[in-house]
Amino acid sequence: MSAPLPQTTSDTPIHALVVGAGFAGLYMLHRLRQSGLSAAVVERAPDVGGTWFWNRYPGARCDVESLQYSYSWDEDLQQDWTWTERFATQPEILRYINHVAERFDLRRDITFDTAVTSATYDEAARQWCLTTDAGPELHCRYLITAVGCLSSANLPAIAGIDSYEGTTYRTSLWPHEGVDLTGQRVGLIGTGSSSIQASPELASQAAELVVFQRTPNFSVPARNQPLTEEKIRYWKENYSDLRREARETTRSGAIYDLPVKSAIGTDPAEIRTELEARWEKGGANFAYAYNDLIVTQEANDIAAEFVRDKIRETVKDPATAEALCPKDYPIFAKRICVDSDYYETFNRDNVRLVDLRKMPIDRITPTGLKTSDAAFDFDVLIYATGFDAITGTLTRMNITGAGGRKLAEKWAEGPKAYLGLMTAGFPNLFMITGPGSPSVLSNMIVSIEQHVDFIHDLLVDLREKGQSSVDADPQAEEDWAAHVTEVAHTTLYPRAASWYMGANIPGKPRVFMPYIGVDRYRAKCDAIARAGYSGFHTAP
């Protein structure tokens, strides 16, 4: 069920318009309703779910454990819902999101199949005017983007891409009815997390799978398994403490076995035992073995070499194993992938890895793909080529702030946003998990809840004080951007050409976009709120 677009005029704007009906948009709507602020959501998809609506490729799973990747804001919800696996599949997460939408009657304020085509700030009226592809203009006092960080897919400009006559799929736009690849010759471009999750599943169906790799990724085994009743009971009984621990005391917004010491100075045999134990346990816990792994190159090298050894042990063909070993960036400086039998997949007779570093793609052909020294024919070509991350959807939305300034122009040299929440010169525009906030370096749901609560509390504060506009102070924004960069450069993150840095999109400025540290970030936001929202300007 889709709600009709809200009836608004410049004289009767809706209080808040939320763009996006994923985890962020749904909670924002619920929170605004709770305080009696009029709100509506527009969503370009035909239903709720955001990233979990679109990314339906075989093997799609969350890499944060399901007991932690769920809302914490309703005690009955978290007691009633029971996850079945350690790492939830995309269908299970989507069922959860649908359950939440039903349970809190959210769809009655969500208009689906409606994309925002522009948003322009009206300085005199202190409100936003939006156009959509569905017809009438929308007027709102506050515009809140809940558009996700990985929601604008990147389709690379490979020569001949339109000439292909077989079937093309993208992992980020997978057909909802599913795809039967039985007996098909499949080419897969990209070796990021999506490809690493999909490859084993694709290989088990297809007659032949050829994986085209430009840059290898580090991946650790998920060791996914059904959740035991005991574990579920423990989490349900202790949710309030565990959620608080994740929010307030962790860098990532998720609970892992946190390190107690540095790798440097620790006996190599002890390190090996510790890394082995974490490898066996599975999941991103591996990244938290020592507290200097993402800080000191020498420590990082130890963990990186451990994983390379695992790849070499697992993959039987030495040349393939060597090609799968990342060697030119620190482990963990790109998001660590969490897989189920990825490396083992390359031992199958029907799977082949093509190292594009050795033979780059020349062009896509009508029947497949040509590299510098070979031609391949496929029935199906799959692009798992990533996203214009964090800023892509925002800069494409054609947002114009005060003085006619375009957001895309303001961010041409890199995004700046105070706390990742507001960008100066764009009053009354809030971004949930925007650039400069922990977002993709965190358990997204923890970060989403914190941003939604902050925005909600600020809007209530404005209402109480009779203020109708709010903007970020330009100097506060500059200082925050400098702080984000400074923190990043105390780590090894900037040493990888990652999508955190915008490095996967040709021409995108290389700026480290997320803020490192959920715990530190929350403490700063709380202090700013307590100080009467310092760094934000308000006006009646």
**Residues found near ligand NA7 in the complex (CB under 6 A):** 150, 156, 158, 189-195, 212, 214-215, 335, 356, 361, 384-386, 499, 504
Cα 9 to Cα 5, 12, 14, 47, distances in angstroms:
12, 5, 8, 26
**Token pair 């109708």: residue:** 468
Pick 50 or 427: Cβ nearer ligand NA7: 50
CA 267 to chain centre: 36
Name which of 383 and 480 has its Cβ closer to ligand NA7.
Answer: 383
18, HSE (Cβ side, Cα atoms, 13 Å): 32
- C-beta of 155: minimal distance to ligand NA7 in Å? 9
351-355, strands of its sheet edge to edge: 167-170, 380-383, 185-189, 208-213, 351-355
Instruction: Please report the beta strands in 78-126, taking only residues with DSSP state E, as ranges in sequence order.
Output: 110-111, 116-122
Lookup: tokens for 525: 């936001």
Q: Which two tokens stand for residue 294?
A: 């993402």
Q: Which is nearer to ligand NA7, 217 or 428 (CB)?
A: 217
Length, in residues, of the chain: 540
Kindly tell me which of 152 and 428 has the beta carbon lying closer to ligand NA7. Answer: 152
Q: At its nearest, how many Å lie between ligand NA7 and the CB of residue 172?
A: 6
CB-nearer residue toward ligand NA7: 132 or 217: 217
The residue among 114 and 437 lying less far from ligand NA7, judged by its C-beta, is 437
CB 394 within 8 A of CB 499: no
Q: Which is nearer to ligand NA7, 6 or 20 (CB)?
A: 20
Residue whose structure tokens are 């020349």: 362
Nearest approach, Cβ of residue 360 and ligand NA7 (Å): 8
Instruction: Give 339 or 471: the residue with its C-beta nearer to ligand NA7.
Output: 339
Judged on CB neighbours under 10 Å (0-12, 13-18, 19+), 229 is exposed
CB of 146 to ligand NA7, least distance (A): 17
CA proximity to 315, closest of 284, 282, 286, 352? 352
Beta strands in 156-312 (DSSP E): 167-170, 185-189, 208-213, 219-221
Backbone angles phi, psi at 245, to 5 degrees: -60, -45
Residue closest to ligand NA7 when measured from CB atoms:
192
CB of 198 to ligand NA7, least distance (A): 9
The least CB distance from residue 30 to ligand NA7, in Å, is: 25
Minimum CB distance to ligand NA7, residue 282 (Å) = 17
Nearer to ligand NA7, 13 or 190 (CB): 190
**Pairing state of beta strands 185-189 and 208-213?**
parallel
Q: Which of 442, 453, 518, 511 is nearest to 482 (CA)?
A: 511
Kindly state the smallest distance separating residue 355's Cβ from ligand NA7, in Å. Answer: 11
In angstroms, give the least distance from the CB of 367 to ligand NA7.
19
Residue 244 or 363 having the CB closest to ligand NA7: 363
Smallest distance, Å, CB 66 to ligand NA7? Answer: 15
Characterise 113 by phi-psi region: left (phi > 0), alpha (psi -120 to 50), beta (else): left
